[in-house]
A and B are shown apart, each in its own frame.
Chain A
Amino acid sequence: MSAQPGSELISLKQVGAESLWKGMWRLLEGRRLAYVGSMLGLGIAALGRSSVYLLLGFFIDDVLSSPDFAAQVPLVALGFIGLAVVQGFFTYLSGTLAGRTGEVVAERLRNYLYDHIQRLSFNFHDRTKTGELIQKVTSDVDAVRRFIAQEATQFGRIVTLFLANFAALFLLDGELAWLSVICVPITILMSIWFFKRISDAYEDFQNQDGVLSAVLQENLSGVRVVKAFARQEYEQNKFEKENYEKYERGRKLLIWHSTFWPLSDIITGAQMLFGYYIGAQMTISGQLSTGDYLSYITLLVWLIWPIRNLGRVIVEMSRGLVSFERVSRIIREEREPLEDGQASLPERLKGELVFENVSFEYEPNMPVLKDISFHVQPGQTVALLGSTGSGKTSLVSLLPRFYDYTSGRILLDGVELKDYPRRYLREQIGIVLQEPFLFSRTIRENLRYSVGREVDNADIEAAAADAAVHDVVLGFPKGYETIVGEKGVTLSGGQKQRITLARTLLKKPSLLILDDSTSAVDTETEASIRAALKRQLGGRTTFIIAHRIQSVMSADLILVFDKGRLVQQGTHAQLLEQDGIYREVFNIQTMIEHEVEREVASANQGQ
């Protein structure tokens, strides 16, 4: 797609498996040299800065008093500019290298996590909250990016500035250099101590922010209730309480800040004055030249001041590492192996299915399917009937291997289902899920969504017509270019169901599963869809989950489920003969029409 590093998909599987630092190092693959270069750049830039002050000292001592002054001074002036160029160039270089690395790593993580998410098992998604996962893959990834692009380099900058300036000081005078850094350990310890507390206070403050937002959100969405009970004043008091608490916590946070900064100013200030004094004494006693003194006092500033920021940077870095750990935890989750399986794969499945004593549980010892056995001939239509939670959806979820059955055998065209690769099964089996889900794109793109091959508009429209949605779509001002989904126009449940059905039909699956996928469609339209399906899918094994008896009557095999067990199976005629749930349902539905007539008649009499 693009030649940018990071856009290629690198497996980050190892990143989660190792220790934090090792994982981080692995994440930098391909950018390690650049990243080390960026750190070196920082070092060179820091040296450049220190040299500016050394040059100043040289200028004072050797040039000002030199007889050759007029000739030398332009050179020195140029020297200052030259050093600024060096310093500027390396600062820039290090900034772009680190910035690029941060972006590369972020892109790498984003792509990998996106792919990872869609390859994690159904089990993972069943137990994970959408909001939390999104939080991790967006904010935490950004925190990792900031760690690499900014916080770690800031840390590097502080360290290199310190080292370069300390080295320069050491060049001037070793004793003086040591005397100038007395405050450093004190400042570092103090900043770390303070910043731990500041971060805690900040978290308190942020939490209260969340509380306040929740109060506001609830008040706004419950505005009718507030008005209906005339509770404005009560609400105002409730908000006021939390609002004031936020103010108070903000104030506490500020007390920490406003004590820390002047305290560290006093410590560093005292160090500087001490340095000036010692430096002055050494100069007067002849140990240092005036130029050296001048270099010294400016170097001192650049030695001490960055140290003040160390505490803040360390706390920020630790936050970045926590985010990285959270991201790693997702990476450590096992993916669904899509390609595993050793069956020889025919181009199309015939669709013969044998269930032999199949049981299945999502969680240990909580079976949702118990001992299911039935036999489906190729091309048959199978209808599943049963209450919510009786196991119908779980049963059809086993076919594309969304989940693997716990015991028993399922034979598809005579081969154990677990021997087929998941990808192959999902290509061959079309499943229309209970909850219609459309993506935020045009209807045309939604329909074309799953088709690996090129399809022309005629195919798309034919599939839509079979699902009885073509006319509906043409009724929209933009027709097939109408954007649907979360950010598009709102479709009715029935319309969504029909589009998802058309989407699956376009895939031309060799085995079709309809999981209650016409429940929101009116009876008449449903009949026309059924007719179209018969036309299109003649000869294809089809599973239908439905509630209405009209939808299942014509099936070749009707399976009746109750509490995870298969309680009845047969054709409509066979099942009517038997005493059981099926006949009960049928009787009720025919009875209802009589009831309606009776009720109306009685109301007329009762006047």
Chain B
Amino acid sequence: MSGSKTPALEGGRPPGEPRRIGWLYVLPALLVYGAFLLWPLVRGAQFSLYHWDGLGTATWAGLSNYTATWSDPVLRGAFGHLLVLVAFYAVLPCCIAFVLVGAISRTRIRGLTFFRTVLFLPQVVAMVAVAVAWQWVYSADGPVNTVLGWLHALGLPDWRRGWLGDFTFALPAVGLVGTWVGIGLALVLFLAGAQKIPRELYEAARIDGAGPVREFLAVTLPGLRRELAVALTLTTIMAIRNFDLIYMATGGGPGDATKAPAYEVYNRTFNTGEVGLGCAIGVTLAVLAFAATAGIGRLVEGRDA
């Protein structure tokens, strides 16, 4: 997408006088968008102000469904789990990818296209299929327990267990699937960004006698701010919208151990008949997603989003 602008038209403004015909071009998209995305958003906000079981008559609830997201211990737990999941989905992959790229960016990489293709693969596989694959990885006879069995044979304690059915480890186990998906995204993003950092900066840093760590802090890190913002935003949104994985892998269990807000939207609406509460959680998630998108850009890039 390259374009050289003629000086007379500088400023990015397309030529021509105001054209009302523009509305005609936008109208079809706007109608579908309005009817099937914006209107449901409004309706969701409206539903969230009522107590309704989905069948009978609804009664006015005011903001009590929203206060319930804090006062209901299960929901408070679910939002707490979301924080843990953000750490696993977003913070951990970005940290790992950063260290890796810091180590790697000092040299040219051969076969970058191949590595990129493979590392990015988890992004394109349907989450339901990913969930099935990881259920096997974590299963009683799966690879994780097999390796732990070998370690046990070497004299270490026996750490084998059904990971997704364990009250302590189910949530981190689910989180690690998110880490696995996110690392590739962050790594590919950072590698692309690091290739764009002028090599002279590295040479200059080396002439100044900078070691790997100084070089990373002075050259690589500032050069990757934009990519870091994008990676954090995308992976945080993934953590907020993790319904597929939870539904397929644990169903929120054991007990409430892996209940996350995205799952509770569905659970409260269709299993326990609390439609208003489900919608209130949904609206809260939209606010969180919006805040994350706007906030991370501001925080990392220092720009006015």
Genuine A/B complex = no
Binding site for A on B (CB under 8 A): none
Interface set of A (CB-CB < 8 Å, partner B): none
